[in-house]
Structure 1
Amino acid sequence: MHRRHRYQLAASALAVAAAGALALAPPAAQAASSGGHDGHGGHGGHGGHGGGRTVDLQVLAINDLHGALEPPTGSNGELTHEHEDGTTETIEAGGVEYLAGALAEAREGERRSVTVAAGDLVGATPLLSGLFHDEPTIEALNELGMDVAGVGNHEFDEGYAELIRLQEGGCHPVDGCYVDGREFAGSDFPYLAANVVDEDTGIPILAPYSVQNVGGVKVGFIGVTLEGTADIVTQEGIAGLEFRDEVETINHYTRVLERKGVNAVIALVHEGGYPASEAYNHDCDADGGGLSGPIVEIARQTDAGVDALVTGHTHQPYVCTIPDPEGQDRLVTSASSNGRLFTELSMSYDRRANDIVRTSVTGSNVVVDRDREPVAELTELLDFWRELADPVANAPIGYISADIAGRGAGTPEFPAGDLIADAQLAHARSLDESTDLALMNPGGVRADLTYAASGDEGDGVVTYGEGFTVQPFSNTVNLLDLTGEQLLAVLAEQVSGENEAAPKILQPSEGFAYTLDLTASGADRIVADSVTVNGEPLDPAATYRVAVNSFLAGGGDGFATLAEGTNPLVGEDDMAALADYLTANSSADAPLDPPTADRITVVQ
């Protein structure tokens, strides 16, 4: 399955000048390209592959894999299936050993097939990948036949230089190579970043597009991440970069491709939407349900020369129709997250027009079920990395009495968020006993803590690997001073400004409480006179010692006021804080109960 057409980035190696400026990629006119391949190994022909004007083309797409190499657990590994009578059931899915097999099965009989992704393939990853700076995920993607991928915000979690290393290869600059004589080779596929440019030159940091020769026909792929990426990643890693408007960028490169005679264009957009139903197989266009969220306006404004939009970021499953600027229907797709689904797009390609026949494009999301045999090459790869990771991953750090739900709880405040906030408060007080409260960003909680045994550790045992899956970013716990007035401003920033449409409710530590009124709008959703700190009403003139992770301390997720905090103190790694808290507050005989998530009173 594995093809060795090593992709060499057109850019020179990253250079960091003394002033911290970035030496970036070559002019945007240079783009990634791939030599012809015939359905990943030249599988037998499918209808339309003869000498006629049109031939069949298949596009297989994933998004938001987040290094979920092993079958994801808890809600991260579940899908909702909708039956014809409207009832639903929950099914388990995912795992790259099964994803590779499902993709290979989908390609059978297809002469022209290409596999693509819409960002966040790495970053926020479980320990098996995260411990090794996501080298295992890139190697798995090479093995399962990835052809081209757009970047997402999480590709920048460890900074631009590390993204370049994942593309070009080489040992990690700090940790080095993990096995003597085995150097990381990088990706076999190009990463695209059309709207991520050097703020001084305006030149994209990676190839903006890739023209794939798919069984003799040329298809252009343009990759963009959401314009707001700079607001949701750590600032140090993106210094000197600018994230530009998605629509303007896609439209520009669509015209560039057209001038090159490439009329078949698909956009890989790391921005998404929200379907009316959470069921992966729900008819998105039925009953006027459709799609909401940022991708809708992006799709409506994207050049009609783009034949489909493969999207991501919101972790939702959908295959929806949104009219292009000329009023013609166009598919917009997303395959959920964690490798639970892939999208299969089928279409006709007109060889005279060098274009996709828009009316022929159909698509559906396909479940990556675990009933199939795992692909041996992927199993071998995972076993290699497991052997290196197991001594760390299998170490027990605590005990829980039941599942501790993360964002899948479906409520503004959720138990895993409170647990992490409590852990950070405990760590902060070990450094400064005057610390009043801790706040945790909801997006930093990536999974549930599950009670059921994973491997051989036993029910209720929490291993370091399981904890890392929940909180994988390796932020530090930072302490800072805020006035009561600033703390109110932080609470308002959860539900106003750039967070008004999609609130980001900070998870509070024990002793911090307030009322969230969802019947109001904007900042008025925060009931100011309801805020209490350790049982006392918030004093706008007082100074409070607050613990947050380093991402929030830098103003991430739109919390600009947190970046104004004074008297900073940097603590330990946030995962270490969680491990220490679980170890100190639980045992086999007295496991930790899930927090009741009642610190925020919600009016709705």
Structure 2
Amino acid sequence: MRALGATALSLALAACATLPGPSMTADEAPVTVRIVGLNDFHGNLEPVRRPVKLEDGKGGQQEVFAGGAAWLASAVESVRAQNPHSLVIGAGDLISASPLASSLFLDEPTVGVMNRLGMDFTSVGNHEFDRGWKELKRLREGGCEKFTLREPCAVEPDYKGTDYPILAANVRMPDGSTLFPGAAIRRFGSGAGAGAVAVGVIGLTLKGTAQIVDPAGIQCITFEDEADSINALVPGLVADGADAIVVAIHQGLVTEPGDDFNGCGAMAGDLRAILERMDPRVDLVISGHTHRAYVCDFSTVDPARRFTVTSAGAAGTMLTDIALTIDPRRGDVLGVSARNVPVQSPGEGRPENAAFPVFQPDPAVATYVARYVAAAAEVAERTVGRISGAATRERPESPLGNFLADAHLAATQGAGAQIALMNPGGIRSELTARPDGSVTFGDIYGVQPFGNTLVTMTLTGAQLLRVLEEQLANPNEQNVLSVSTGFAMTLAPTRPAGQRVVAATLGGVPIDPAGTYRVTVNNFIAGGGDGFVTLKEGTDATVGPLDLDALEAYLQSAPVMAMPATGRVTMLGS
């Protein structure tokens, strides 16, 4: 509920309004609530291996080694220490698609980390549903009931669940209730007296979650329109005395290459249409999903909607330091300031960048993480093969994606597979070898952590071509598939729907719409995930091995596996 104008002006007001004036008592003075924004942590308990590239919006770039739960805890505490009133708010995907030390234990250690750094609220994201809504409820509430192939409570037999609420405003159960509460309110100061302020928080995931998680885990629940869900809750928060309203939404903007990680750029992406319909009484939007870093003033798009929109990248490599300055007398937000702070974590071969603050690891969190890393080490450090060089996952085509498709094809040729297709969202990290070329189980688990099975099905050529069209259905989030050896496709994303697949060949022969082909995919997209709904029409399905087992077997099929070249996918500009 912004009382004044654009962010630049509000920052100045916030800076000079924090001291009471001559006729203003301390209880009447503006109150600053410090907020830590987090998103897309994805169970990254340890620092990421590669440096984060930070653009300055002017053609310059810096690199910084960052992340790690112990360093993140210290960074959070440094932000909290700036003001007596603070909140830590997550925007979803804190769990799943995680490295081995968290994923092997059903992300229970990630919950433990968030409890220890003082998470106050988080929204659900799509990855919170990767293991189904029942397992998500267990993570929230605690206990050891088994809903997955993996054993819960393997390290902590008394797993207690989250200390913080999970918010799910648009996740509707069959009886009309929401899976978790949609909103909450936090009050600061002396009750309802002078100087007291209240912050309302709404949390939700993207409506399209149903298209990007395993349908078997979300049966009977629905994901409703984001803006409608937010707008339905704002009046109640206002009536309950909220002086500021924060939305934590797992949907995001898409910045342009080279945009400043503390800037904004063009504000493209699926979140923009939601923001354009959002109640203007919202003051702050903490977003995620796209793994981009930005701080946007939405009043530059719509002067009536003067909220700030933030995202802190991914993997705990950044947090957003946000200050909400509130006038307690009028119940209005005077200003919002926000900046993304890299969680720099040098050491063990990670050099320091003097341009950014350095955080020391929190000892208690470091000890807690080490317990899980040690529990996973025996499994993680087993050598599974050797590769000829780094396997990268750049889009639209990557050597690693081609390598995975080849591995899946090799594992399912006994089921008649001719083509294997791999969705880019299922490739969660790059594959980096040790100096001797070796890769470990932990390395390949980080690439494919979902435990998907391979499914080989029969598709007509016409159906296969429709699948290829579905790669480009969402211009803001294209899902260009990696394809196995012998298959090639030429795509034109900017052409009209139905004309975007320019060519598709197998062994140099064009795909025959009237022919039939045996195609291998993982069970996630076989069920229509990532929008590949035509795959649900496949017939004569044969369920094969786990994708991870297929990859390990492929690595062991030669002393050193060479990374395949690119050139299987051609993208045309028009």
Q: Return the match for 1:66 from 30, 35, 42.
A: 42
Asked whether 1:526 is paired with 2:501, we answer: yes
2:31 is aligned to 55
Asked whether 1:436 is paired with 2:418, we answer: yes
Q: Return the match for 1:481 from 458, 478, 486.
A: 458
Look up the SS of the partner of 1:155 in the other structure: helix
Q: How big is each residue's C-alpha offset from its partner over 1:250-290, in whole Å with a ceiling of 9 and x where there is no partner? A: 01101111122223210001100112344553532xxxx33
1:241 is aligned to 221
2:562 is aligned to 593
1:101 Cα deviation from its structure 2 partner: 1.0
Q: How big is each residue's C-alpha offset from its partner over 1:398-457, in whole Å with a ceiling of 9 and x where there is no partner? A: 112221111xx2x3111111111111111111x42x211100111111111113x4xxxx
2:3 is aligned to none
For 2:552 and 2:424, the matched residues in 1 are separated by 19
1:330 is aligned to 307
2:52 is aligned to 78
Is the Cα contact below 8 Å between 2:44 and 2:68 reproduced in 1? Answer: yes
1:510 maps to amino acid: T
1:99 maps to amino acid: L
**Change in 2 beyond 3 A, CA 1:116/1:239:** same
1:502 Cα deviation from its structure 2 partner: 2.8
Asked whether 1:419 is paired with 2:403, we answer: yes
Structure 1, unaligned runs of 5 or more: 1-45
Asked whether 1:220 is paired with 2:192, we answer: no
1:518 Cα deviation from its structure 2 partner: 4.2
**Change in 2 beyond 3 A, CA 1:460/1:488:** same
**Change in 2 beyond 3 A, CA 1:58/1:515:** same
Q: Return the match for 1:189 from 149, 164, 176.
A: 164
Asked whether 1:580 is paired with 2:553, we answer: yes
Look up the SS of the partner of 1:306 in the other structure: coil
For 1:72 and 1:181, the matched residues in 2 are separated by 25
**Change in 2 beyond 3 A, CA 1:114/1:399:** same
**Change in 2 beyond 3 A, CA 1:582/1:489:** same
For 2:155 and 2:87, the matched residues in 1 are separated by 35
2:370 maps to amino acid: D
Tell me whether 89-98 or 321-330 shows the greater mean CA deviation.
321-330
Look up the SS of the partner of 2:208 in the other structure: helix
- Bigger RCO (CA 8 Å, 6+ sep): 2
2:126 maps to amino acid: N
2:182 is aligned to 208
Q: Return the match for 1:379 from 340, 346, 366.
A: 366
1:415 maps to amino acid: P
Asked whether 1:107 is paired with 2:80, we answer: yes
1:494 is aligned to 471
For 1:599 and 1:397, the matched residues in 2 are separated by 27
For 1:277 and 1:50, the matched residues in 2 are separated by 46
**Change in 2 beyond 3 A, CA 1:423/1:582:** same
**Change in 2 beyond 3 A, CA 1:561/1:67:** same
Q: Return the match for 1:563 from 536, 539, 542.
A: 536
Q: How big is each residue's C-alpha offset from its partner over 1:537-558, in whole Å with a ceiling of 9 and x where there is no partner? A: 2222221111000001101111
For 1:147 and 1:50, the matched residues in 2 are separated by 27
RMSD: 2.0
**Change in 2 beyond 3 A, CA 1:50/1:109:** farther
1:339 is aligned to 316
For 1:307 and 1:180, the matched residues in 2 are separated by 41
Is the Cα contact below 8 Å between 1:398 and 1:463 reproduced in 2? Answer: yes
**Change in 2 beyond 3 A, CA 1:52/1:343:** same
What TM-score, normalized to structure 2?
0.89
For 1:489 and 1:519, the matched residues in 2 are separated by 17
Look up the SS of the partner of 1:203 in the other structure: coil
1:594 Cα deviation from its structure 2 partner: 2.2
For 2:396 and 2:154, the matched residues in 1 are separated by 44
1:292 is aligned to 268
For 1:181 and 1:602, the matched residues in 2 are separated by 49
1:262 is aligned to 242
1:336 Cα deviation from its structure 2 partner: 0.6
For 2:137 and 2:90, the matched residues in 1 are separated by 17
For 1:469 and 1:50, the matched residues in 2 are separated by 52
For 2:97 and 2:154, the matched residues in 1 are separated by 24
1:79 maps to amino acid: K
Look up the SS of the partner of 2:432 in the other structure: coil
Q: How big is each residue's C-alpha offset from its partner over 1:466-485, in whole Å with a ceiling of 9 and x where there is no partner? A: 11111111110011100111
**Change in 2 beyond 3 A, CA 1:140/1:181:** closer
1:164 is aligned to 137
Is the Cα contact below 8 Å between 2:343 and 2:359 reproduced in 1? Answer: no
Tell me whether 510-519 or 375-384 shows the greater mean CA deviation.
510-519
Look up the SS of the partner of 1:361 in the other structure: strand
Look up the SS of the partner of 1:188 in the other structure: coil
1:476 maps to amino acid: T
1:275 maps to amino acid: T
Structure 2, unaligned runs of 5 or more: 1-17, 191-196, 346-357
For 1:68 and 1:280, the matched residues in 2 are separated by 24
1:303 maps to amino acid: D
Is the Cα contact below 8 Å between 2:106 and 2:152 reproduced in 1? Answer: no
2:255 maps to amino acid: P
Count of residue correspondences: 531
1:508 is aligned to 483
1:396 Cα deviation from its structure 2 partner: 1.0
1:525 maps to amino acid: R
For 1:368 and 1:201, the matched residues in 2 are separated by 42
Is the Cα contact below 8 Å between 2:69 and 2:113 reproduced in 1? Answer: yes
Q: Return the match for 1:129 from 97, 102, 105.
A: 102
2:497 maps to amino acid: G
Is the Cα contact below 8 Å between 1:483 and 1:544 reproduced in 2? Answer: yes
Is the Cα contact below 8 Å between 1:344 and 1:364 reproduced in 2? Answer: yes
For 1:509 and 1:245, the matched residues in 2 are separated by 37
